[in-house]
Amino acid sequence: NDDIAFFQLNGIVLGLYRRTAFEAETGRTLSGADGVALAINFAARDAVDAVLDEAVRAGGEIMRPAADTEWGGYSGYFADPDGHAWEVAHNPHWNIDADGNVWMPEG
Alpha helices in the chain (DSSP H): 19-26, 45-57
Task: Report the top-level CATH class of 4-103.
Answer: alpha beta
pTM of this prediction? 0.76
Q: Is the model's pLDDT at 107 over the cut of 70? A: no
**pLDDT for the residue 7:** 87
What are the domain boundaries of the chain? 4-103
What are the angstrom distances between the C-alpha of 48 and each of 2, 20, 68, 76? 26, 24, 11, 7
Q: For residue 55, give the 3-state DSSP assignment.
A: helix
| Mean pLDDT rounded to a whole number for the chain | 89
Q: Could you give the angle at the alpha carbon of 39 between the alpha carbons of 48 and 85, nearest 5°?
A: 95
Single-letter residue type at 86: W
